Amino acid sequence: MMGRIVAIAAAELRIARRNRWVLTATLIMVLFALALTFAGSAPTGSLGVDLLTVAVASMTTLSVYLAPLLALMVAFDALAGEADRGGLALLLSYPVSRGEILAGKGLAHLAVLAFAMAAGFGAAGGAAALAGGAGPESVAALLRLIASSVLLGAIFLALGYAVSALAASSAGAAAMAAGLWLVAVVLYDLGLLGAVVWSGDGAFTRHVFPWLLAANPADAFRLWNVGAAEAVALASGMQGAADALPRWAAPVSLVLWPFAALGLARLAFGRMEP
């Protein structure tokens, strides 16, 4: 089983490298992270924290949007595109299970994302530390940011595969992926914001809203990074919701989501008739 997964992963990695996917994703991450770090360096003095802390806060906001986007862009074509080109039927005529195909592609794509994120956040974090200082706490925050960004990427990779299997075609999968991104990272928050405004300081805002926030992987990611480091929270102003939840809520959500999403993808792939 491992042999087949590794064979598929190795081929997918090669394809990602030759299609310049690795290069593109890494460049995007490095450029955005560097730009945000230095654009966001202004409030350092007034908050009394080192530059790396502020940089991590800015990059957390960036990652909420960019990690799901990059993951969906890598994943949406993985199954629908192969089915379109006729390669999926051939692949499935070999004694390899659909789970193994998903695992192989997933490993390769996750490696691409992890590399891009480590390079991007690492470079920006390093530059911030050199320019404005860093402490043990802010370095820990940076490492947590990279790890949780990879997790967030893994979730949206798996959701991307599910979309890819559900859509009838490559173009359909692209549209569904764009819709999913919009809902998960923009509209969900807007909806919650509306509900909070309507509820005021009512029961919804105090008891339901934080949990709804933790249930969405993008928000859980934000809560985790914010809640774990007080200084980061200070810089991003998201402390209220983080305080209302037990400390484990956001990390658990972020760790459980990849499995749930992968299960969903496997289910959708199983129903696909190439």
Question: Interface with another protein by CB under 8 A: which residues?
Answer: 3-4, 7-8, 10-11, 14-15, 18-19, 85-87, 89-97, 273-274
Contact 59, 49 (CB under 8 A): no
The minimum distance between CB 28 and another protein, in angstroms, equals 20
- Residue 14 or 247: the one with the smaller Cβ distance to another protein is 14
The minimum distance between CB 3 and another protein, in angstroms, equals 6
The minimum distance between CB 116 and another protein, in angstroms, equals 19
**For residue 66, what is the DSSP state?**
H
Contact 253, 220 (CB under 8 A): yes
Provide the CA 105 distance to its chain's centre, in angstroms. Answer: 17
- String of DSSP letters for 75-107: HTHHHHHHHHHTHHHHHHTSS--HHHHHHHHHH
Look at the block and give the residue holding tokens 């490696």. Answer: 111
- Residue 43 or 87: the one with the smaller Cβ distance to another protein is 87
The minimum distance between CB 206 and another protein, in angstroms, equals 51
The minimum distance between CB 81 and another protein, in angstroms, equals 10
- Residue 90 or 256: the one with the smaller Cβ distance to another protein is 90
- Residue 86 or 136: the one with the smaller Cβ distance to another protein is 86
Contact 165, 271 (CB under 8 A): yes
Calpha distance 114→102 (Å, rounded)? 18
Calpha distance 95→6 (Å, rounded)? 15
The minimum distance between CB 253 and another protein, in angstroms, equals 36
- Residue 13 or 226: the one with the smaller Cβ distance to another protein is 13
- Residue 15 or 47: the one with the smaller Cβ distance to another protein is 15
Cα dist from 36 to 27, 87, 127, 263, 267, whole Å: 14, 41, 12, 35, 39
